[in-house]
Amino acid sequence: MNRMDSSVTPLRVGLLGYGLAGSVFHAPLLASTPGLALDTVVTSDPERQERARTAGGPDGLVRVVASADELFAEPGRLDLVVIATPNRTHVPLARRALEAGLPAVVDKPLAATAAEARELAELADARGLLLAPFQNRRWDNDFLTLRSLLAEDALGEVHRFESRFERWRPKPKGGWRESGDPEEIGGLLYDLGSHLVDQALTLFGPAASVYAESDVRRAGAEADDDTFIAITHENGVRSHLWMSATAAQLGPRFRVLGSRSAYVKYGLDPQEAALREGARPAEGVPWGVEPESAWGTLGALDETRTVPTLDGDYPAFYDAVAAALREGTPPPVTAHEAAAALQVLETARSFTRSS
């Protein structure tokens, strides 16, 4: 990791939301990033408030407020706002942050539509403010490894990119993430699909056409839980993307077919599981490391070799955010990139059907 000098005065961060995204991903990564300090957490839930007070890491206790109004009442107190609230609130809260003169990181999806994402991007550009969607899976270990292989031309000309996020959850869990209300922006398409499409576009460029099969299969389910997207990129590569809660046996995370060889990788990056278990990134301590038994393979038919998986690096996202705010370097992800991915997701959503 290329970490910022810890002697600089930290930038003060306000975190809106302390559910799964806020408590498992953003708060730990913020607390471990030199140059950033978690100052304020917004949550109205008493139990979450109690946990959030100690989320600041070695810098001490965190101020906790119950509403966004309280946070935005003192915009001068903060240097950055992170929005990790339910999807339907992303656009209004991001707009509010930018209008208050605050740079913002917004959990995915940035918006429900590409048009909304473009409007936010234009507002951020007009005010000269950072607006960075949290596409952390660009720093998954397998994705970093695949990017490295492509840079080395290890596969030849890529024909097809297959990518999966599959789960076995035959019974719906409920909550807004599985709500059928369009205003909630629930379902796997906008959840896991946000990552899958972002990765595909990052690797192989803009989409020329999109086809999808999107279904609601489980009894009692309201939102899509089994979706497939096919993207034909402008450069001719075809991306086949699966996201499912109904996969009783899981396919490979990646299968990438090229003119000389293929890369096949099973299993998930270990960083989310580590964060859920309470592990935290720290300077000099191994992070995102995968055992050799989980490495992928490269080659053709029986002439294959294992490829060491690069370490995952979620901390790189907030390192890049801190550098962008201090030094004016490019943000790790842009709202314009999010708009391109949302255009694909919107098209795919038009194929959704109920069981």
User: What whole-number distance in Å separates Cα of residue 331 and Cα of residue 322?
Assistant: 9
Q: Bigger pLDDT: 204 or 181?
A: 204
Contact, 23 vs 55, CB < 8 A? Answer: yes
Task: Report pLDDT for 225.
Answer: 95
CB burial readout 29-56, b (16+ within 10 A) else e: bbbbbbbbbbbbbbbeeeebbeebeebb
Question: pLDDT tens digits for 182-193?
Answer: 889 999 999 999
Please state the length of the chain: 355
Q: Residue 12 above 50 pLDDT?
A: yes
* Of 245, 115, 141, nearest in space to 187 by CA: 245
Mean pLDDT of the chain: 95
Contact, 297 vs 8, CB < 8 A? Answer: no
Q: Which fold has domain 137-313+342-354?
A: Dihydrodipicolinate Reductase; domain 2 (3.30.360)
Domain ranges of the chain: 11-136+317-330, 137-313+342-354
Question: pLDDT tens digits for 26-54?
Answer: 999 999 999 999 999 999 999 999 999 98
Q: Angle CA(46)–CA(50)–CA(55) in degrees, nearest 5?
A: 135
User: What whole-number distance in Å separates Cα of residue 141 and Cα of residue 163?
Assistant: 14
The percentage of the chain sitting over the pLDDT mark of 90, rounded to a whole number, equals 88
Q: Residue 354 above 60 pLDDT?
A: no
Q: Angle CA(332)–CA(334)–CA(339) in degrees, nearest 5?
A: 145
> Please, which residues have CB within 8 angstroms of residue 347's CB and are 6 or more apart in sequence?
210, 212
Q: Residue 6 above 60 pLDDT?
A: no
Q: Residue 280: enclosing H or E segment and its boundaries?
A: none
Contact, 206 vs 233, CB < 8 A? Answer: yes
Class of the 11-136+317-330 domain?
alpha beta
Contact, 308 vs 265, CB < 8 A? Answer: no
Task: Report pLDDT for 7.
Answer: 63
pTM for the model stands at 0.94
Task: Report pLDDT for 5.
Answer: 58
User: What whole-number distance in Å separates Cα of residue 10 and Cα of residue 29?
Assistant: 14
Contact, 40 vs 77, CB < 8 A? Answer: yes
CA 142 to each of CA 10, 138, 191, 198: distance values in angstroms, whole numbers, following the listed order: 31, 9, 19, 15
State mean pLDDT over 276-280: 95
> Please, which residues have CB within 8 angstroms of residue 114's CB and are 6 or more apart in sequence?
339, 340, 342, 343, 346
State mean pLDDT over 243-272: 98
pLDDT band at 98 (very low <50, low <70, confident <90, very high): very high
Least confident of 18-22, 39-43, 129-133, 218-222: 218-222
For residue 228, give the amino acid letter: F
User: What whole-number distance in Å separates Cα of residue 95 and Cα of residue 16?
Assistant: 14
Dihedral-angle region of residue 32 (phi above 0 means left; psi in -120 to 50 means alpha; beta otherwise)? alpha
Quick one: CA dihedral 125, 133, 144, 29, positive or negative? positive
